[in-house]
Structure 1
Amino acid sequence: MSSPAAPSKIRLLIVDDHFMVRLGLASALNLEEDMEVIAEGRTGAEAVSLFQSLRPDVVVIDYQLPELNGAEATAAIRAIDRSARVIVLSVFKGEEDVHRAVQAGASGYLPKASEPGELMDAIRAIHAGGTYFPPAINAALETRAGRGQLSDREMQVLEAIVRGRSNKEIAIALGISENTVKVHTTRVFEKLNVADRMEAITAAISRGIVHLA
């Protein structure tokens, strides 16, 4: 009488632009009896290509990547297969980063400082069809949901403010008047609940709205 077949392992694709991070993740995940890293990628574009060819059960992807960031790569992967399961693992915990990842279709989002066991729990939960967002990440999503959405133009103005541009410089760059820049700036301050440029810069960076890359 033949013995029952061993349960299949969770096939994983891990994507990070740092070799040592990939090495550490792969080593830890491959120690789990029910997990197997089948491929590694360095860029967002590689993540999409590898998913297309290998169809892993779960993708573990960094947020800040060359070519496509984690949210953009997640959206592209989900466009290939709406049932794709993706966990974003990132140093960024700002509400806007988390929001972008969730909007793209990520099933989970974990800070890179998370304990290894939590990542394993997240992978198993998501492989089973669930989601995984730690309390701090859920709090960021709730905070983001309560804020007004910045328009594309307001985002352009905010990004320019973060980079130290004056109203005149912003007006020239965007092809609008200085008065219009002031109007957009006022709206940005209201939506971010800040009083001045310095507070706006701090909020934009800490919440993940703008990255100084």
Structure 2
Amino acid sequence: MVRVMIADDHPMMREGIANTLVAHGAFDIVARASDGRDAVALYDSTRPDVALIDLQMPDMDGLEAIREIRSRHPDARLIVLSTYSGDARIAAALKAGARTYMMKHVHGAELAATVREVHEGWHVLPPTMRQEIAAQYTGSPPSCRELDVLRLASVGKSNREIAALLSISEATVKAHMSTLLMKLGAADRAHAVALASKRGFIDL
């Protein structure tokens, strides 16, 4: 029997995941968390074999929860289960300490099999995720400052406004934007925003 914790801020999603696992094998749902802070506390108290954690949760997001759980329990076996794809999100989750990253629309049998594999100690990344990283990662990722520029551009700020907000020159803003276009393979500013959002570098 694999003891499982599910952390997701949507009650129907939590129950759906629980029902799917129970229907596909010997799984005991020992805890259900509604936010990241709750997930950390429940992990401490129940010590599940495997935890399924959503990224987008209130109070403390999934990445923070994963980092906190792993800092307290280095052997924790954690799976990100998300509605969002994108190579930057996948990489961030794995770096934080997740064993794998799965989409919520995954088939029940695949989800159950992955939970078992992670329970056995494997690091598992579905082929679709490996393909996404390989297809979209073309070089150095955008720097933090470049992403600051892009976030402001995404809400309609001009180069002059971005320069003032970040205390840099307009020439520097233009240089950052040019570098972003190259790194993302984008045709223009709007295309860069769209690609960065799709890949998980920024949230719109």
Instruction: For 1:1-213, list aligned pairs within 5 A.
Output: 9-143=1-135, 145-212=137-204
Kindly provide the CA deviation profile for residues 176-202 of structure 1, in whole angstroms up to 9, marking residues without a partner as x. 111111111111111112121011011
Structure-1 separation of matches of 2:64 and 2:172: 31
Aligned pairs, how many?
Answer: 204
- The answer for unaligned runs of 5 or more in structure 1 is 1-8
- The answer for unaligned runs of 5 or more in structure 2 is none
Letter in 2 for 1:52: D
Structure-2 separation of matches of 1:98 and 1:33: 27
TM-score, normalised with respect to structure 1: 0.90
Identity of aligned residues (%): 38
SS at match of 2:102: strand
Instruction: Give the C-alpha shift of residue 149 in structure 1.
Output: 2.3
Structure-2 separation of matches of 1:67 and 1:159: 22
TM-score, normalised with respect to structure 2: 0.94
Structure-2 separation of matches of 1:205 and 1:141: 15
Structure-1 separation of matches of 2:156 and 2:40: 35
Kindly provide the CA deviation profile for residues 87-119 of structure 1, in whole angstroms up to 9, marking residues without a partner as x. 111111111111111111111111111101111
Provide closer, same or farther for how the CA distance between residues 157 and 51 of structure 1 changes in structure 2, counting only shifts above 3 A: same
Q: Supply the RMSD in Å over aligned alpha carbons.
A: 1.5
After the TM superposition, which of the residue ranges 70-79 and 24-33 deviates more from structure 2? 24-33
User: 1:108–1:133: 8 Å Cα contact kept in structure 2?
Assistant: yes
Letter in 2 for 1:37: I
SS at match of 1:89: strand
Structure-2 separation of matches of 1:207 and 1:126: 25
* Structure (1 or 2) with the larger CA radius of gyration: 1
Structure-1 separation of matches of 2:60 and 2:172: 32
